[in-house]
Structure 1
Amino acid sequence: MSMPASPRRRILIIDDNPSIHQDFQKILSTTAATTSLDALETALFGAPQARGGATYSFDVDSASQGAEGVERVRQAAREGQPYALAFVDIRMPPGIDGVETTAQLWQADEDLQVVLCSAYADYSWEEVAQRLGVNQRLLILRKPFDNIEVRQMAHALAQKWDLSRQSRRREEELAQAVAARTQELQATNARLRQEMEDRARLEARLAQSQRLEAMGRLASGMANEISSPLGFVSTNLNHLRLALEKRTAGQPLEDPAELLEACRDAILGTDRLKRIVQDVKLFARVGPQPIMTVDVRKVVEQALARAELPPGSRVQRVVEFQEAPPVMAREEGLTQVFLNLITNAAQAMPENHPEPRIRIATRTQGTDALVEIQDNGSGIDAEHLGHIFEPFYTTKPGGSGLGLSICHGIITGFGGEISVDSTPGKGTTFRIRLPRAS
């Protein structure tokens, strides 16, 4: 089985002494003459190889002055064949010394590992650290140096150079991945923003369309509601006018009782028109209103006190008050809602009902206040139940169809909910839930 090829790394020797270059060539170049040295090195220190990798082979280049060495490093970096390691002599007259050379080498290639070689105490470690900083890319080698020490140092620093470059490449790959992911997220966010803007515009157009549709229904409902009592009033007034014209022409006056009945009917029609106008005005005012903390039980009691049952009514009122939290609302608005629902419940009782009963209850549901108004009257058919909160929808003769719509608008304006359950022949229950006042 053949061994894998040894990775080759470039080493630069910067020294003004030619014999030093020859020594490094003998020590670091892989030739038959180094076989015994390799065996001794392996016996003493173990195989000089990277963890999990093969022993390095080196290509050794030379420079006699610091400036020349810096230029070689620049050229190698430009060509994409950088040096892994440089052995740099401290003293190289007449050019720049090894410390300055090292500083310039790192400007040319920041990954380069450097070994400063010196036979004299030219600089203390503190002076070197002061000029170059404490740097993991720098080692000091004293002359005369040991061959095995040099080879071990070369292998260790070559491995360190490899790991440093691998780490840098990994960081660059991660940075590219993060940049790509960031760009993708930005594009996604831009699409989401555009979709939200498009949706907002569609919702605005839909709301406008719904408003126009509601105005159309309102106008149509008003026309239908007004036309009936208006025709009623017009018919009776015309009857009175004809009777008075006949009287003016000398003809006998019709039965005064009949004319009086026509007047009463006309007045009833005008009262009906008046109620419709009042309901429409109230309906138009439903919306955000100034609110305050309100005691629900107190408002229900006020509505019960104001509720007028039909003369001779046998309706029994059952009150079940439990603790309910205060809510944010307006007493006037809540009173109107409860009064409307109590009146509707009383009017839902058939005349022949054996035990007509209205139940009014307050309690706490979760953190909210709940009010229930229940009757055991005729109930509401399923086909009508889904429309009872719509403006002008009514199954009650003489009703405007705005009462429950107004109740719905008032309750939702306070942040609450109003719902209804009904069984034909058994009765109806309205539930009003209002959030607790904070």
Structure 2
Amino acid sequence: MSPPAGERRRILVVDDNPSIHQDFRKILARPDDDVEELDAMESMLFGEAPPRLGTSRFELDFALGGEEGVRRVKEAVREGRPYAMAFVDIRMPPGMDGVETTLHMWREEADLQVVLCSAHSDYSWDELSRKLGQSERLLILRKPFDNIEVRQMAHALCEKWELLRASHQRMEDLERIVQERTRALAEANTRLMHAQKLEALGRMSAGLAHEVNNPLSFILSNLRHAVRGLEKLPCPPESMAARDDLREACRDAILGAERIERIVQDVRIFARVDEPPRDPVDVRAVAELSISMASEALRSGVRLIKDFHEVPRVLGSEHGLGQVFLNLIVNAAHALRGREDPFIRLGVLRRSDGRVAVEVQDNGCGIPAENLSRLFEPFFTTKPVGTGTGLGLSICHGIVTRLGGDITVHSAPGQGTTFRVVLPAAPGSEGVASAPLERTRSA
């Protein structure tokens, strides 16, 4: 980064002769009370000099050898106040000469502008080119110095350094913008591909559900008919045990078929075959009904905390929202197994933006961070094989988002889980009055 506007540009003078340091100080950092006198002298010797500002634009530092010069450049870079340029003497025995010093300084600060100063022809231009390369950062200045030449070099090279740094910054900004846009495009492409996969999966699932549903209806009907017939069928005592075995086998088959039926219903909802209606719904009444339907899943000893506030009706579907709340309550109950003082809190409140939030909170086992981002993916489940389809939360997500709402989850292992469903209020709906609510009860 370039120094802030108005800050003096830093120049380093590397020379083993202290009197040379004084010369540069007089030329580039002379005090204000000497300005007019020195300008008059320059005008006499070199012609009319350009007008000067009242203060110097440069901050000078000095080094008596190459090693010290390299150290100062390194420190300046580390402090975030790099040198714009350096005047470097070529001959500085017994340490590094100016050429070697320049190489080391460029390794620390690649943009540093360097002026090699010498009264001798130690190196030809070809030799310098071989050692330092064809660099636009390098100029040669012969001693004795021309004050105007030194000052012009300082102004021109510092300005060049500023422009170079600004160009680097613009390139970094452009690269960052390109990276951000590339990342955004990649994410959008990923979302599009995911949406296309889900759409294709939905079409396939809808067709599969339709094909399975028809024969399943015949199977269930015939199994129920067989159970009713076996219950009414008279038989001799020696055959009653066989009849009872057949009846129980049919009942087990009915349970399995009904499970398939529920899976088919979930697949149909996932495939969006049955779009939920949108009517004004008393969300607290739906929550109460969901609690009643989940009574079998709520084992004894679970504290059920109802935190219901006055809220407007929401725009939604009683059946769809009931399915969402029931699924979240049952999942919370499953997460409480083995926990001490287990509780489920069902909260209904009005947000500051006018929308209604329904929260299902538990103090159960929590959800690992690596699973949080996948909870609403279809067919993703952490339950054992055969105990879940992985469609429950995906269906909840689909129902809520199709109603114009949001569903989020906050969880950590061992710290419980909170699902929050946020729904839009029905147009023109006011707060729904209610009788005093029981805040806590045991299931």
TM range (shorter): 0.3 to 0.5
- Tell me which structure has the larger Cα radius of gyration: 1
